[in-house]
């Protein structure tokens, strides 16, 4: 906040001198304690010109402002032609501000000072208030001069609405970026665990809606066993989800032979394939688990049905010729392990462990293949 400037006019506010000094000492933005006459005489012209108009606030006693406002506006308008200076903060010593319709309607920015409050406590509260006020001022300054002055009341309402939308959109964007792997542009490990938890909760809720607990055989392969019954059909269609653990075969060799930059390009291409609509559905969730390992969460999909997108992924990858910086081409293959969720799983690690075991089984038995855990380990 070092690029923000606050001028506090002390006229009719002498009893708050200790508070203003505390604000000046603690604030992260520049604070000057002045008399209104100092501003009118141009003593701060040089200092003010080094700041943008939207970053300057003048705080002055609310009831005295009606007399000084025209002169202050004329002076501040000279600082930057064609840009109206509107950043005034009205300070009140009592609750009389509630008699000011402009303050009530939101046309004025106001703050009530309390003489009996501890200076440090009130200074911190004031500084937090000012930081929020500066943020609002930046948004407000983007509005065109004509719109702002011609339709002030309408624009003020729209400004608040836009501010809220901008903040919500920014928060969404930040939240999304915190879940995205920077290299592959798909979800990161933390996001995958969040989605797994949500999918597990959804599954358990659906099972409860279906009317209680289902019997799961000891080998936990309720979906892929040859003898199916109605109970299992319902679970398969309505509740079960699967995950796919994917590992690039011989990735260390790719890095050692062609360099880490080429290895990064390979990972990016895998990330693109995991987002391809011809391979996965919109509701499928792909992410980078770590290094050259990836996970895909497939809602409403049993282990057998997860085999389809896994085969499509392997087939699409087989069509790609990768090239090193010296134009040497090479192929990349995947070892894929699949497992489905078991309602008896105690945590998310259980299904990840099974898919991981299946993936390592694929590697140990020749790589470049897809293994379903329940078919190999739960026979």
Put the strands of the sheet holding 334-340 in their side by side order: 285-290, 293-298, 242-248, 334-340, 370-372
Helix axis angle, 260-273 to 251-258, nearest 10°: 140
| CA 50/CA 48 separation, integer angstroms | 5
- Whether the Cβ atoms of residue 189 and residue 289 lie closer than 8 Å to each other: yes
The answer to whether 371 and 224 are in contact (CB under 8 A) is no
Taking only Cα atoms into account, the Rg of the chain, rounded to an integer number of angstroms, comes to: 32
Angle between helices 303-318 and 260-273 (to 10 degrees): 130
Q: Mark out the alpha helices in 27-151 (DSSP H runs).
A: 36-40, 45-49, 65-79, 101-105, 119-140, 145-150
How deeply is 274 buried, as exposed, middle or buried, from its count of CB atoms within 10 A (0-12, 13-18, 19+)? Answer: buried
User: Which of 61, 292, 340, 374 is the catalytic position?
Assistant: 292
Structure tokens at 283: 């509701």
Q: Is 228 designated active site? A: no
Contact between 163 and 106 (Cβ < 8 Å): no
Question: Kind and range of the H or E element at 174?
Answer: helix 152-177
Known catalytic residues are 292
């Amino acid at each position: 906040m070092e690029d923000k400037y606050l001028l506090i006019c002390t006229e009719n506010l002498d009893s708050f001198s200790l508070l203003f000094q505390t604000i000046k000492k603690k604030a992260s933005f520049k604070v000057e304690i002045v008399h209104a006459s100092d501003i009118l005489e141009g003593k701060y012209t040089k200092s003010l010109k080094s700041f943008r108009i939207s970053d300057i606030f003048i705080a002055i006693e609310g009831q005295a402002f009606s007399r000084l406002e025209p002169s202050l506006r004329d002076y501040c308008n000279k600082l930057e032609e064609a840009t109206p200076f509107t950043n005034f903060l009205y300070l009140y010593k009592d609750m009389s501000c509630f008699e000011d319709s402009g303050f009530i309607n939101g046309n004025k920015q106001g703050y009530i000072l309390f003489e009996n409050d501890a200076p440090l406590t009130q200074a911190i509260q004031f500084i937090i208030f000012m930081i929020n006020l500066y943020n609002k001022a930046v948004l407000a300054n983007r509005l065109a001069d004509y719109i702002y002055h011609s339709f002030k009341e309408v624009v003020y309402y729209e400004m608040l609405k836009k501010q809220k939308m901008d903040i919500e959109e920014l928060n969404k964007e930040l939240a999304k970026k915190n879940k995205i792997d920077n290299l592959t542009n798909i979800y990161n490990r933390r996001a995958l665990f969040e989605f797994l938890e949500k999918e597990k909760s959804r599954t358990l809720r659906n099972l409860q809606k279906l009317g209680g607990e289902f019997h799961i055989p000891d080998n936990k392969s309720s979906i892929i066993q040859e003898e199916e019954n109605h109970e299992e059909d319902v679970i398969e269609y309505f509740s079960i989800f699967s995950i796919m653990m994917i590992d690039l075969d011989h990735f260390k060799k790719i890095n050692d032979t062609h360099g880490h930059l080429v290895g990064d390009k390979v990972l990016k291409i895998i990330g693109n394939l995991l987002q391809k609509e011809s391979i996965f559905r919109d509701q499928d969730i792909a992410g980078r688990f770590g290094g050259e390992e990836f996970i895909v969460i497939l809602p409403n999909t049993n282990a057998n049905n997860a085999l389809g997108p896994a085969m499509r992924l392997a087939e699409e990858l087989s069509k790609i010729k990768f090239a090193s910086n010296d134009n040497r081409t090479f192929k990349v293959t995947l070892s894929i392990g699949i497992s489905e969720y078991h309602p008896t799983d105690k945590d998310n690690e259980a299904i990840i462990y099974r898919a991981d075991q299946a993936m390592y089984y694929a590697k140990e038995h020749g790589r470049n293949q897809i293994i379903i855990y329940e078919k190999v380990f739960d026979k």
